[in-house]
Amino acid sequence: MGVKSVAVYVNTNKSLETYKRLFNMDYFVDKSMMIETTNKLINRANNYLCITRPRRFGKSSVASMLASYYSKAVDSKNIFDTLKISKVDEYMEHLNKYNVITISFNKIPDHGKSFDDYLNMIKDSLILDIEEIYPNLKSKKYFTISDMLEDTGEKFIFIFDEWDYIFNNNLFSENQNDFLEFLRNLLKDQSYVALCYMTGVLPIKKYSSGSALNMFDEFTFLKDRILGEYFGFTEAEVKKLCAENGEIDFNELESWYNGYLTAKGVKVYNPRSVVKALLNNHCESYWTNTGAMDEVAQYLKYNTLEIRDDVIQMVSGAEVDITIDEEFRAGQGNPKTKEEIYSAMIVLGFLSYYDGYLKIPNQELMKEFQKALRDESFGYVSEIIENSRKMLKATVNYDTKTVESILHDIHNSEIPILKYSDENSLSCVLTLAYLAARDTYRVEREEKAGKGYSDFSFHPRRKNDIPFIVELKKDGTPEAAIKQIREKEYALKFRKEYKDKKVLAVGICYNSDTKEHNCIIEEI
């Protein structure tokens, strides 16, 4: 195995160096009260925690914090003395008092790509670390690493990050149970385990027969009512950061990144996206650029016909009433049913679910769903979206005949939800017809404006584009729609925002008797 002088996993200073960087960031958020919870679990029977959240929700940051606090190999008092945890009575009792084994399972060896290479890299590094800290163990032979750790006579805290890496990336499928057995042998019923904190995206498959890791208490997006506020920024924390920033508007940031709720109903935001927006003083899609966001389209393809209507509704801004009881778990394979697909997308953070209602959480994810609908697997929906650029061009050119023709074609598609059984269906049609507009416009549905709420407001992102308001009437007249826009002064908000621009009023109606669409476009 060779000679090594720098610890890889046991009592390293890597976590502290990582946490220092976080601590010194312009927009650091103190999550140290999480430590009060973990302190109460040390050397208890329920001292195994598995935290699962979508990517970029602060799991690794908390892992670095815990390792920095507990590790006897570092002195982190100067940092933690400034944080909330320092006010707790038991603060000093556990500060820098433990052997800490920190492993992130997302590392694949440079030489050799097999499961044996992967697991042996972890095992060999652990053994070398232990032998370096306890040189008297070098001359002994052990059947397992757990025997070796037991022989130290000391307690260890385990901090495991991305435990589900091989599951989430579909690696070593034939050996995934062997990996679970490795974790079980290392952790389960071992007296040297003072605490184990483990994180990942996918929950453990602990309820199936033969699971190796049923000693863990799981804290998942759907069911965690205890630790939810520590993963993601709360609304109060985001408002405070916006105040510190002084330039970016909280309402804009909220529209881009809000939309997730903990099991207790607390609003949480994706930390990476919020921090990026604050650093750049600009809201755009940040989180979606960090991973394989093509997964949105991929998951929708697992059962396109069954979920298509739901997706159209959600892209239109509506919620879907559905019961999701079971979470998608590590080792479950590809989802097949509607419930499994949605469950997987909730776990990955692509959808938000609370109190029986499913929705696309925010503008950041909405863009990904809009892209997904362009895929040919969505059949006529993708054709509608391809034609949606014509709809935008026709609108700003007062071409009412083309607008009416496009709406007529959509209505005559084979998609049941677009048959106008109610006004929400008409809104779905408008969403699809104008989907291309979202590339250059901020589109708001039911936006507070003047003396009421406009059906659709199109706010241009480019200085030369024309703002416009769309009002819908089922079994009404376009003239009545235009009149409502004028009388309720929907354009007042636009006039403040775009002082030198003309604003268009677009009145659209559908007559359920004649099956005809009518449109009027006027400057107001």
Residue 420's pLDDT is what? 64
Tokens 């976590």: give the residue: 15
Confidence of residue 231 (pLDDT cuts 50, 70, 90): very high
319, pLDDT greater than 60: yes
* Phi, psi values for residue 474, rounded to 5°: -95, 125
- 172 and 40 within one domain: yes
SS (H, E, C) 153-193: CCCEEEEEECCCHHHHCCCCHHHHHHHHHHHHHHHCCCCCE
Query: What's the rounded Cα separation, in Å, for the pair 99 and 493?
Result: 60
The model's confidence at residue 207, banded by pLDDT at 50, 70 and 90, is low
**pLDDT tens digit string along 4-16?**
556 689 999 999 9
Contact 131, 125 (CB under 8 A): no
Q: Is residue 8, in this structure, part of any structural domain at all?
A: no
162 and 196 co-located in one domain:
yes
Residue 20 pLDDT greater than 50, yes or no: yes
Q: What confidence tens digit (pLDDT) does each residue in 344-365 have?
A: 999 999 999 999 999 999 988 9
Tell me, what's the pLDDT at 18?
96
Residue 9: inside a domain, yes or no? no
pLDDT at 270 over 80: yes
pTM over 0.75: yes
> Are 143 and 196 within one domain?
yes
Domain end residue (candidates: 377, 395, 415)? 377
- Mean pLDDT of all residues in 276-301: 78
With respect to residue 457, please indicate whether it lies within any of the assigned structural domains: yes
Does one domain contain both 409 and 357?
Answer: no
> 467 pLDDT band (50/70/90 cuts)?
very high
Domain boundary among 289, 316, 336: 289
| Domain annotation covers residue 240 | yes
User: Has residue 119 been placed in a domain?
Assistant: yes
Q: What is the dihedral of CA 275, 281, 283, 287, to 10 degrees?
A: -30
CATH number at residue 167: 3.40.50
- Evaluate whether residue 195 is within a structural domain: yes
Residue 5 lies in a domain: no
Enclosing domain of residue 198:
14-229
DSSP helix/strand/coil, 95? coil
Model confidence at 205, pLDDT cuts 50, 70, 90, reads confident
Q: Where are the extended beta strands (E) located within 34-98?
A: 48-52
For residue 501, pLDDT beyond 90: no
Question: Of 229, 259, 281, which closes a domain?
Answer: 229
Same domain, 205 and 347: no
Environment class of 499 (CB within 10 Å of its CB; exposed 0-12, middle 13-18, buried 19+) = exposed
**Between residues 462 and 519, the one the model is more confident about:** 519
Residue 334 near residue 298 (C-beta atoms within 8 A): no
> What is the mean predicted confidence (pLDDT) over 319-344?
90
Identify the CA nearest to 488 among candidates 502, 475, 507. Answer: 507
The answer to whether residues 299 and 161 belong to one domain is: no
How far, in Å, are 2, 20, 57, 71 from residue 14 at the CA level? 22, 10, 20, 11
pLDDT band with cut points at 50, 70 and 90 for residue 341:
very high
Residues 183 and 119 in one domain: yes
Residues 407 and 517 in one domain: yes
If asked whether residues 242 and 143 sit together in one domain, one would say no
**Domain for residue 1, yes or no?**
no
Are residues 174 and 45 both part of a single domain? yes
Tokens 């435990």 appear where? 163
Q: How far apart are CA 360 and CA 338, in angstroms?
A: 16
CATH number at residue 431: 3.40.1350
Q: Count up the domains in the chain and report the number.
A: 4
273 plus 224 within the same structural domain:
no
* pLDDT band, very low/low/confident/very high, at 2 (cuts 50, 70, 90): very low
Which of 286-290, 410-414, 489-493 has the lowest average pLDDT? 286-290
Q: Given a cut of 80, is residue 249 above it in pLDDT?
A: yes
Same domain as 509, residue 463 = yes
**421 pLDDT higher than 70:** no
